[in-house]
Amino acid sequence: MIKATTISPWRMTLVMVLVMFLATILASQASAQVALPVTTPQSLTDVQVGALIEQVKQMPVSRLDRGLPRVSFAKWLQAEAGPDARISWVLRYAKATDTDGGRDFPTCVEADAMMETGRSIVILIGVGRPGKIGDRKAFVYRADLLDQQDSIGLNHLRDIPAALSRFQRTASHSEVVR
């Protein structure tokens, strides 16, 4: 014969609190990005550099610019640059020089999208203060559109489509003038 047991209300409450606590921890671990400990760029191995670049590529572009959709930065950049654009990724870091007003350059992941038109989109995503990695949230340090004659510095990633359009109109106008 099976004997039925009852669980007291306080035990049931304790179990429910424990289940909710564990669910919260598991959910936060699943959505958390893999973070590198605070370190210097020079101390990273090639594997760690690759992992850092991959982390930036997979980051939702909406984290970098709230006006953009929740798709990965790499997919968004490929869509903006065009399906045939070649995108290269590299880790950049440097000390201050006279040309940058004595300011130290933050550690950045650079995305350089070379389009078929000969133009390029260059975006630097800061991943640390000068000489460090992992000591701050990712941020857009710089975004530029470049061609052989001109460059346009952009304040926000969401400005890229309009700037590309402006570049296209300028190129069409200069071809007509020639």
Give the Cα separation of 18 and 137 in Å (integer).
31
Per-residue pLDDT of the chain (178 residues; tens, 9 = 90+): 555 556 666 565 544 544 454 444 434 433 334 455 677 788 888 999 999 999 999 999 999 999 999 999 999 999 999 999 999 999 998 765 555 565 678 899 999 999 998 999 999 999 988 888 888 899 999 999 998 888 889 999 999 998 888 777 665 544 433 4
Nearest CA to 153 out of 121, 115, 125 is that of 121
- Whole-number pLDDT of residue 31: 36
Please check whether residue 86 lies inside any domain of the structure. yes
Q: What is the DSSP letter of 83?
A: T
Please check whether residue 88 lies inside any domain of the structure. yes
Please check whether residue 21 lies inside any domain of the structure. no
**H or E stretch covering 168:** helix 160-177
- Cβ 158 vs Cβ 97: under 8 Å: no
- Cβ 139 vs Cβ 61: under 8 Å: no
- How many independent structural domains does the chain possess? 1
Q: Which residues contact 175 (CB under 8 A, 6 or more apart)?
A: none
Kind of pairing, strands 120-128 and 139-146?
Answer: antiparallel
Angle CA 80–84–87, to nearest 5: 70
Please check whether residue 74 lies inside any domain of the structure. yes
Q: Note the residue count of the chain.
A: 178
Nearest CA to 61 out of 85, 48, 79, 82 is that of 79
Query: How far is C-alpha 4 from the geometric centre of its chain's CA atoms?
Result: 56
Please check whether residue 131 lies inside any domain of the structure. yes
Q: Whole-structure pTM over 0.75, yes or no? A: no
- Whole-number pLDDT of residue 41: 83
Give the Cα separation of 127 and 112 in Å (integer).
16
Please check whether residue 156 lies inside any domain of the structure. yes
For residue 161, the enclosing domain spans 41-177
Cβ burial of 52 (10 Å; 0-12, 13-18, 19+) is buried
Please check whether residue 69 lies inside any domain of the structure. yes
Please check whether residue 31 lies inside any domain of the structure. no
